[in-house]
Amino acid sequence: MEKKMYSWQMTALDADFELTENVLPEPEPHEALVKIAGCGVCHTDLSFWHSGVKTKKELPLTLGHEISGVVVAGPDQWLGKNVIIPAVLPCGECELCKKGRSNMCQKQLMPGNDFHGGFASHIKVPARFLCPVPDALLKKYPLEKLSVIADAISTPYQVIKKSELEAGDFAIVIGVGGVGIYAALIARIFGAKVLALDIDDEKLDSAKNHGVDAILNVKGLDIKSIKDKVREITKGLGVSRYGWKIFEMSGTKQGQELGFNLITFTSTLSIVGFTMDKTEVRLSNLMAFDAKLIGTWGCNPELYPEVVDLITTDKLKIDDFIETFPMSKINEVFRNTLNHLYSKRSVLVPDFG
């Protein structure tokens, strides 16, 4: 086994990541040491690095929570296995875990937040909730690209199930970037008619080309104009005026306020995107429309096999939405991501050590 590990650490807000070299850690009996194949760049990472959102572990810290790799040390049943590391690692024993809400376990550990994460050559994690990657899936995609399962795909999968979306429902996805595109496609797989809203024609065209039923560029439009256009689209799709499932994925104040204003009778608005900005909404609309407003945090590790199965059976195809970069280009990739220069989810692949 290699004796050293390498990682790119955040040392200060908005500063360049620094390459560090350390002794390879030895896992405890309940832990696994994973050689990283790929780690996705998430909006949450940008929030830690650029927006001042506090990490649980003090700096310096290796970010990254969207990780795939190979177990190189740990429990015998995991040795040599290709795995996805859940972005939320619960204890599995507490009240919330036992009630099926393990994603909200208050003892949870999140790579790149509670401990050193995936922008590295190796990572040491609790082994209990690792998700094995079947050989059949590896024949379709390289392991590094499957890292996006850990957040970009599993998070929208959980919220769509949580929203109680059914076949024939009308689903509105606000923001079809690196996470929102999967929300739109998964909603379509569940049988909904899907409308994608964004301010980027390239992203909207991609969504349309991959099976989304309708698209609308909302750039420069006021709320009334958007609502009028959405009503026209519902008529064209032949969907109900009621019970819309709205998924806010953009993580912007404008997107969240738009999502709230689109609530109609018996709607469910799901907030997935994160922003530090505060919104101005009239909460009484929830009463008047008998509507629901829900949030979501990550994904229960127990749901990961269902997500893996969607991709293995080709119901969900992911290759067109991922772009890989050498991990040594992390500073360039983060700044380009911050400046919205990429249309695909960036995955960093270790190229050192």
pLDDT in tens, 190-215: 999 999 999 999 999 999 999 999 99
Tokens describing residue 314: 């080709």
Q: Is 0.95 surpassed by the pTM of this model?
A: no
What pLDDT does residue 343 have? Answer: 84
The label of the residue with tokens 């309940």 reads 30
Say if residues 120 and 8 touch (Cβ distance below 8 Å).
yes
Q: What pLDDT sits at residue 332?
A: 98
Token duo for residue 206: 């991609």
Domains of the chain, first to last: 4-151+299-349 (3.90.180.10), 154-295 (3.40.50.720)
Q: What is the pLDDT of residue 276?
A: 86
Q: Angle at Cα 56 formed by Cα 119 and Cα 66, nearest 5°?
A: 30
DSSP state, 279? Answer: -
Any idea which residue has 């509670």 for tokens?
114
pLDDT at 233: 98
**pLDDT the model gives residue 53:** 92
Count, residues in the chain: 353
- For the chain, which residues score pLDDT lower than 70? 1-2, 353
On the question of a cis peptide bond just before residue 60, with omega within 30 degrees of 0, the verdict is: yes
pLDDT tens track for 2-61: 589 999 999 999 999 999 999 999 999 999 999 999 999 998 999 999 999 999 999 999
pLDDT at position 2: 56
